[in-house]
């Protein structure tokens, strides 16, 4: 039997299909990267390798396969289980409340004052407030919605529920909301929220100059990456930021201990650094990475993990001859004499980045001056408090 591990969005999509949100559609679609054909069966697993369902292929189109699903286990959720009711369960609650017109409001953001007004303008109507997955942490949005209901909305007529997946097509979302019992759908309205909600929002969405970012220094060995990174860290700490440093040599001693210097191992090392950096930035931390990172593909992988809008690639463009002069560890000399193989810049390639945010030619420039250029780049992007 073929197998497919679903990412979180696909798992949520499967959950909606299984719980009846897509009724009367009885065919599910998966993206299968390998070869499959009608009649094949694919075991679907979630990100934690839990067996979810058997998918039987009916037809294919490119990498997309359409077919029927036999459930094995419902996708698991550790949080807000009472707010993860199926369409049938929500409809039953509505029936017990007397039925009639039901307003549905699905949001990916916090409940705005305009949203609250829309709910209040339909007094006497049952309301389903659906919280969709989105870029903002759903835990905070549930807390905020509960606070809005507590302070200003009629809790007796509001059903709060979480969707495991947000269909990108609004028509598909509206069809799902109808299966939850909605007779009227109101689109969310962006805008200010009540002060109590704004206080919760500010905890999870701090101002830009308090959000996470990653500065990634790349360049030949002994180009000066770590020295510039240290000066930048000092300047950022002076501005009140707490900085995490991921230096290539230190990472090799701990996080990547045991890896060699084959292309595969080098890529693994860079992706490990990228993953750690992404976790730091996701929690609003600032991280500086200084690693040779010789290959474009693995640098791009790190950029994708961190996020395009908070990843800054800095190319320390020091000429190879200057790097050799600065090499206090003697690696270049060993590589030239044949005592060391696989040395980047000698017998292993360095792919100079074509998409760097900043190129630092260090010849004739001090590390302090280079660090100031990076600081200016960060300030221009809003990640440094302009007030200092």
What pLDDT, in 10s, does the model give residues 182-230? 999 999 999 999 999 999 999 888 899 999 999 999 999 999 999 999 9
In angstroms, the CA 77 to CA 9 distance is: 14
* Mean pLDDT of all residues in 130-157: 91
Residue-level pLDDT at 347: 85
Q: How confident is the model at residue 109 (pLDDT cuts 50, 70, 90)?
A: very high
CATH 3.40.50.300 residue spans of the chain: 208-380
Q: Assess whether 293 carries a catalytic annotation.
A: yes
Does the pLDDT of residue 34 top 90, yes or no?
Answer: no
CATH 3.10.400.10 residue spans of the chain: 2-71
In this structure, the dihedral spanned by the alpha carbons of residues 368, 371, 372 and 373, taken in order and rounded to 10 degrees, is: 130
Tell me the whole-structure pTM to 2 decimals.
0.74
Does the pLDDT of residue 241 top 70, yes or no?
Answer: yes
CA angle 106/107/111 to nearest 5° reads 115
Which of the residues 148, 222, 256, 293 is marked catalytic? 293
* Mean pLDDT of all residues in 285-307: 97
% of the chain residues with pLDDT over 90: 81
- The tokens of 29 are what? 């679609």
Mean pLDDT across the chain, nearest whole number?
A: 93
- The tokens of 10 are what? 């696909």
% of the chain residues with pLDDT over 70: 99
Residue-level pLDDT at 152: 84
Q: For residue 232, give the nearest of 222, 249, 223, 245 by alpha carbon.
A: 245
CATH 3.40.50.620 residue spans of the chain: 81-204
Does the pLDDT of residue 40 top 80, yes or no?
Answer: yes
Q: How confident is the model at residue 373 (pLDDT cuts 50, 70, 90)?
A: very high
Q: How confident is the model at residue 327 (pLDDT cuts 50, 70, 90)?
A: confident
Q: How far is CA 52 from the centre of its chain?
A: 23
161 CB-near residues (< 8 Å, 6+ apart): 83, 84, 85, 90, 128, 129, 130, 131, 180
Does the pLDDT of residue 387 top 80, yes or no?
Answer: no
What's the CATH number for 2-71?
3.10.400.10
Residue-level pLDDT at 136: 87
Place of tokens 């002069």: 325
Does CATH place domain 81-204 in 3.40.50.620? Answer: yes
Does the pLDDT of residue 388 top 80, yes or no?
Answer: no
106 CB-near residues (< 8 Å, 6+ apart): 130, 131, 132, 163, 166, 173, 177, 185, 188
If DSSP codes are grouped into helix, strand and coil, which group holds residue 131?
strand
Does the pLDDT of residue 386 top 80, yes or no?
Answer: no
CATH topology of domain 208-380: Rossmann fold (3.40.50)
């Amino acid at each position: 039997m073929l197998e497919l591990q679903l990412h979180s969005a696909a798992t949520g999509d499967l959950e909606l299909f299984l719980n009846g949100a897509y009724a009367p559609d009885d065919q599910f679609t998966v993206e299968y990267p390998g070869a499959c054909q009608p009649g094949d069966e694919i075991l679907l697993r979630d990100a934690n390798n839990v067996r979810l369902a058997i998918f039987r292929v009916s037809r294919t189109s490119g990498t997309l396969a359409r077919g029927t699903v036999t459930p094995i286990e419902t996708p698991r959720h550790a949080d807000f289980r009472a707010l993860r009711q199926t369409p049938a369960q929500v409809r039953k609650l509505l029936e017990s409340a007397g039925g009639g017109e039901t307003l549905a409001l699905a949001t990916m953001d916090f409940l705005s004052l305009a949203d609250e007004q829309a709910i209040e303008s339909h007094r006497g109507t049952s309301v389903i407030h659906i919280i969709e997955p989105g870029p903002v942490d759903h835990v905070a949005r549930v807390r905020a919605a509960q606070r809005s209901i507590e302070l200003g909305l009629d809790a007796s007529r509001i059903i709060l529920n979480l969707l495991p997946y947000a269909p990108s097509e609004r028509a598909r979302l509206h069809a799902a909301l109808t299966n939850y019992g909605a007779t009227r759908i109101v689109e969310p309205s962006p805008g200010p929220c009540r002060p109590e909600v704004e206080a919760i929002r500010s905890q999870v969405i701090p101002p830009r100059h308090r959000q996470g970012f990653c500065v990634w220094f790349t360049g030949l060995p002994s180009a000066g990456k770590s020295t510039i990174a240290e000066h930048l860290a000092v300047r950022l700490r002076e501005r009140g930021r707490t900085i995490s440093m991921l230096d290539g040599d230190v990472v090799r001693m701990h996080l990547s201990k045991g890896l060699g210097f084959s292309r595969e191992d080098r890529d693994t090392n860079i992706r490990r650094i990228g993953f750690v950096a992404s976790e730091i930035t996701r929690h609003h931390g600032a991280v500086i990475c200084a690693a040779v990172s010789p290959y474009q593909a693995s640098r791009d992988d790190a950029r994708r993990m961190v996020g395009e809008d908070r990843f800054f690639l800095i190319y320390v463009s020091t000429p190879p001859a200057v790097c050799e002069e600065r090499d206090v560890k003697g690696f270049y000399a060993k590589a030239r004499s044949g005592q060391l193989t696989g040395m980047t810049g000698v017998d292993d390639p360095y792919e100079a980045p074509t998409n760097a945010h900043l190129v630092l030619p260090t010849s004739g420039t001090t590390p302090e001056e280079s660090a100031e250029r990076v600081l200016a780049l960060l300030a221009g992007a809003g990640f440094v408090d302009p007030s200092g």
